[in-house]
């Protein structure tokens, strides 16, 4: 019997269905499903894992954060514990009956490691299988891809798995050692611990550095002159001097404007926008972020669509379709996809298809492309949006360029030059299938040189230069890739960890004071963990492991040596480190001023119940308190309620953050409560259950 091990249960089921030369018999080992079928006359059993079946961890004697010196973790033995006992038992049981085993996990470092971990359980149960292992590598869960992979089985890459294991071990050693040290130095234990990570910390340092840039930025004043002209419909123009540095100059120009303006120049310029290139992981996550999907969520949705057979493997660096990809076959099923079928039809009518090519070409996986037909009804709304994004990108890469026409008008009014311009799409090309990159047409009047129009009004606008923008999640993914921080598989989770630890909020990412100070303290006293150079160098070392140029043990030991130096420096700076971090924590926990005593209002916790509330720092002389929501991160906004003057906070939790003031007796809050209660009562009177929206509004107004 041939045992086939996949990364997930639904992948195992699909592989059985694709390979079976007849019916598939469903079975279970306790709660773990497996699928028995015949392939090439041989009995096969396909079973799925739940990702990693083994997790790296330290022995039990190192579990007490307060009693164990963190430096002991640097050289402590790393054990592999079974993370999914039921799955492990199923693998062992099935292995006893097998005479061959095929690893069919995802084809990348992580997938290779997951497969090798599973093999350790296989060999434990049946050592005879050590010489009978094969590897199936595919990039899409489709009949053609899976059959091709099983017709061309290869060997498992121990080097590739070793690179994945090196990452696991190094991340555990650095993360556990420094997280414990920082948490102990700041006395933050339990759910309040402060995490440090090999990739997480330099990413946080990037965000914090940008925020410090913004705060240090000194705005410079400038002035703009805008006017409204009329030729039938009114339209807006600007002075040709886009920014006046002196107010006197803009005022003079304003005074010079006459009652009319004469067209002095009409310039038109055609341009061609070449079609976009195929999706790799980074460009996909960036595009998904632009339509409202956080990288971690987009990555999860793409993984689900892959295992359901709708798109190809979503972790790839490649931006060039392989010659083996049958573009017409893909277009054949895209004809039936809602909203895009007409584009597929037009492409199929072409004699030749010429897809675009990006700058990166690899041989492991193709770019992300649709592999199966899906209807809108078959998918959840969020899945459908991601599927559509992938489908439309694929179509766009096969279409012609978009053509635009830019028209610029120049006017003279009282000796002052005014100008306006607009760009319109004259030929949709690839933008017809991929509207995400399309900007709205800017229509301007059809005028000729010498025509005179009326100056309806003019206005001087006082403005200031703006600081550099914060990183949006999509932009941050690109910056991380450029700096070698993380991998295509890990970057979304790294960003999500920053949110989960309360280091950042919102998108673009705004660091909390705690996040800024943790980054500052690490930069000051452990610069290696806060800079991208070290972690990027480690990524190169892991590439070398996967290529068999260096051993996993050498890389891990070198990393330990660096960590020892970092730890020694931290030990000598513990008080200063803790003072910096606590400055940020206290700032985040200060919500405003007490209306009675004028002292700070700060977040406190009840000693017995541990429930949080707002209390006056002047206690016991001042006993003013306010309740707080018990779940979600509290972010002070530094603003006050326009109805009652109490400090406003943002509560991060659930699907969407919400803003409220801390005063339960606020008139605005009472109005909201009454309105929400009235709506809920109205819905009940009509025989309906109160809507989720009504219940949530009622909860917010009473929290």
Over 50: is that where the pLDDT of 478 sits? Answer: yes
Q: What is the pLDDT of residue 703?
A: 52
Q: Find the helix or strand (DSSP H, E) in which 57 lies.
A: strand 54-57
From 396, 417, 441, give the residue that closes a domain: 396
Cis peptide before 508 (omega within 30 of 0): yes
Q: What is the pLDDT of residue 682?
A: 74
Same domain, 254 and 333: no
Mean pLDDT, residues 73-96: 96
**100-104 β-sheet, strand order:** 25-29, 32-39, 42-48, 2-6, 100-104, 133-135
Angle of helix 513-525 relative to helix 574-588, nearest 10 degrees, comes to 170
Greater model confidence, 599 or 609: 599
Q: What is the pLDDT of residue 689?
A: 56
pLDDT digits (tens, 9 = 90+) for 614-663: 999 999 999 999 999 888 889 999 899 999 989 999 998 766 788 899 99
CA–CA dist 269, 426 (Å, integer)? 12
Angle at the Cα of 78 (from 72 to 79), degrees rounded to 5? 135
Say which residues have a Cβ less than 8 Å from residue 492's Cβ, sequence separation at least 6.
Answer: 285, 294, 295, 296, 298, 299, 477
For residue 75, is it within any domain? Answer: no
DSSP conformational letter for 197 = -
Q: What is the pLDDT of residue 695?
A: 45
Note down the domain range covering 262.
221-275+402-464
Q: What is the pLDDT of residue 698?
A: 45
Q: What is the pLDDT of residue 700?
A: 54
Domain count within the chain: 5
The 10 Å Cβ neighbour count of residue 447 is 17
pLDDT digits (tens, 9 = 90+) for 658-701: 889 999 889 988 888 888 777 777 767 766 555 555 545 545 55
- Catalytic annotation, residues: 313
| Phi-psi label, residue 563: left if phi above 0, alpha if psi -120 to 50, beta otherwise | alpha
Same domain, 143 and 10: yes
Q: Is the pTM of this model over 0.85?
A: yes
Over 90: is that where the pLDDT of 255 sits? Answer: yes
Q: Pairing state of beta strands 600-605 and 612-616?
A: antiparallel
Mean pLDDT, residues 86-93: 96
Kindly report the CATH number assigned to the domain that includes residue 543.
1.10.460.10
Angle at the Cα of 359 (from 356 to 360), degrees rounded to 5? 110
CA–CA dist 321, 625 (Å, integer)? 63
**Selection from 248, 122, 211 nearest residue 508 by Cα:** 211
Q: What is the pLDDT of residue 340?
A: 96
Same domain, 626 and 546: no
Kindly report the CATH number assigned to the domain that includes residue 243.
2.70.20.10
Model confidence at 96, pLDDT cuts 50, 70, 90, reads: very high
Mean pLDDT, residues 469-496: 93
For residue 62, is it within any domain? Answer: no
pLDDT digits (tens, 9 = 90+) for 263-276: 999 999 999 999 99
Q: What is the pLDDT of residue 6?
A: 97
For residue 64, is it within any domain? Answer: no
Mean pLDDT, residues 156-177: 95
Greater model confidence, 382 or 360: 382
For residue 185, is it within any domain? Answer: yes
Kindly report the CATH number assigned to the domain that includes residue 117.
3.40.50.140
pLDDT digits (tens, 9 = 90+) for 38-66: 999 999 999 999 999 999 999 999 999 98
CA–CA dist 234, 239 (Å, integer)? 17
Same domain, 385 and 287: yes
- Mean pLDDT rounded to a whole number for the chain: 93
pLDDT digits (tens, 9 = 90+) for 492-534: 999 999 998 999 999 999 999 999 999 999 999 999 999 999 8
pLDDT digits (tens, 9 = 90+) for 234-248: 999 999 999 999 999
Same domain, 287 and 138: no
CA–CA dist 171, 193 (Å, integer)? 17
Model confidence at 607, pLDDT cuts 50, 70, 90, reads: confident
Greater model confidence, 149 or 487: 149
Same domain, 264 and 411: yes
For residue 10, is it within any domain? Answer: yes
Question: Is the four-CA dihedral 410, 412, 413, 416 of positive or negative sign?
Answer: positive
For residue 16, is it within any domain? Answer: yes
From 132, 156, 180, give the residue that closes a domain: 156
Same domain, 261 and 300: no
Task: Give percent of the chain with pLDDT exceeding 70.
Answer: 97
Same domain, 597 and 512: no
Same domain, 94 and 118: yes
For residue 672, is it within any domain? Answer: yes
Same domain, 12 and 126: yes
For residue 542, is it within any domain? Answer: yes
Kindly report the CATH number assigned to the domain that includes residue 285.
1.10.290.10
From 581, 613, 640, give the residue that closes a domain: 581
3-class secondary structure, 174: helix
The answer to whether the CB of 366 falls within 8 A of the CB of 316 is yes
pLDDT digits (tens, 9 = 90+) for 558-588: 999 999 999 999 999 999 999 999 999 999 9
Same domain, 271 and 415: yes
Q: What is the pLDDT of residue 633?
A: 85
Same domain, 353 and 419: no
């Amino acid at each position: 019997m041939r045992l086939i091990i996949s990364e997930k249960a639904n992948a195992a089921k699909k592989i059985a269905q694709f390979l079976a030369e007849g019916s598939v018999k469903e079975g279970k080992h306790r709660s773990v499903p497996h699928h028995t079928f015949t392939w090439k006359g041989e009995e096969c059993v396909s079973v799925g894992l739940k990702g990693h079946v083994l997790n790296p961890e330290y022995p039990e004697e190192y579990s007490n954060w307060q009693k164990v010196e963190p430096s002991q973790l640097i050289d402590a033995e790393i054990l592999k514990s079974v993370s999914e006992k039921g799955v492990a038992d199923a693998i062992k049981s099935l292995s006893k009956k097998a005479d061959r085993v095929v690893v069919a996990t995802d084809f990348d470092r992580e997938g290779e490691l997951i497969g090798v971990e599973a093999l350790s359980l296989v060999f434990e149960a049946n050592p005879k299988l050590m010489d009978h292992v094969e590897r199936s590598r595919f990039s899409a869960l489709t009949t053609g891809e899976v059959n091709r992979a099983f017709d061309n089985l290869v060997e498992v890459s121990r080097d590739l798995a070793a690179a994945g294991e090196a990452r696991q071990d190094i991340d555990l050693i650095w993360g556990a050692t420094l997280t414990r040290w920082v948490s102990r130095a700041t006395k933050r234990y339990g759910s309040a611990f402060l995490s440090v990570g090999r990739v997480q910390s330099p990413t946080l340092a990037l965000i914090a550095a940008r925020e410090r840039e913004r705060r240090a930025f000194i705005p410079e004043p400038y002035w703009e002159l805008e006017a409204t002209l009329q030729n039938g419909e009114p339209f807006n123009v600007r002075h040709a001097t886009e920014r006046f540095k002196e107010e006197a100059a803009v005022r003079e120009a304003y005074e010079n404007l006459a009652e009319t303006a004469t067209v002095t120049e009409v310039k038109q310029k055609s341009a061609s926008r070449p079609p976009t290139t195929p999706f790799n992981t980074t460009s996909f996550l960036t595009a998904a972020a632009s339509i409202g999907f956080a990288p971690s969520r987009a990555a999860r949705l793409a993984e689900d669509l892959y295992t359901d057979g709708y798109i190809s493997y979503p972790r790839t660096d490649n931006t060039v379709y392989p010659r083996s990809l049958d573009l017409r076959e893909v277009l054949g099923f895209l004809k039936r996809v809602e909203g895009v079928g007409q584009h597929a039809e037009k492409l199929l009518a072409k004699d030749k298809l010429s897809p675009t090519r990006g700058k990166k070409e690899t041989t492991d996986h193709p770019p992300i492309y649709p592999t199966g037909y899906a209807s809108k009804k078959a998918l959840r709304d969020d899945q459908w949006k991601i599927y559509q994004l992938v489908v439309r990108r694929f179509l766009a890469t096969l279409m012609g360029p978009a053509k635009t026409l830019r028209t610029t008008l120049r006017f003279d009014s009282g000796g002052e030059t005014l100008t306006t311009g607009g760009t319109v799409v004259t030929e949709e090309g690839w933008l017809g299938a991929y509207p995400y990159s399309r900007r709205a047409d800017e229509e301007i009047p059809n005028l000729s040189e010498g025509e005179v129009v009326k100056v309806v009004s003019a206005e001087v606008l006082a403005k200031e230069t703006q600081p550099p923008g914060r990183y949006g999640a999509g932009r941050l993914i690109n910056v991380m890739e450029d700096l070698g921080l993380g991998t295509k598989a890990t970057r979304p989770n790294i960003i999500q960890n920053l949110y989960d630890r309360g280091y950042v909020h919102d998108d673009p990412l705004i660091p909390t004071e705690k996040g800024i100070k943790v980054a500052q303290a690490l930069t000051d006293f452990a610069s290696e963990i806060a800079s991208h150079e070290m972690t990027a160098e480690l990524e190169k070392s892991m590439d070398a492991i996967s290529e068999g140029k260096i051993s996993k043990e050498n890389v891990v030991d070198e990393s330990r040596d660096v960590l020892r130096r970092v730890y020694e420096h931290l030990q000598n700076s513990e008080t200063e480190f803790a003072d910096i971090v606590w400055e940020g924590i206290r700032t985040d926990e200060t919500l405003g001023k007490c209306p009675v005593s004028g002292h700070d209002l700060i977040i406190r916790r009840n000693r017995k119940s541990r429930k949080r509330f707002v209390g006056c720092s002047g206690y016991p002389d001042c006993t003013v308190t306010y309740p707080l929501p018990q779940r979600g991160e509290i972010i002070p906004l530094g603003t006050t309620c326009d109805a009652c003057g109490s400090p406003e906070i943002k509560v991060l939790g659930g699907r969407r953050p919400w803003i409220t003031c801390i005063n339960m007796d606020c008139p605005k809050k009472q109005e909201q409560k009454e309105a929400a209660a009235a709506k809920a009562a109205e819905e009940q009177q009509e025989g309906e259950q109160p809507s989720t929206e009504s219940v949530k509004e009622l909860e917010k107004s009473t929290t």
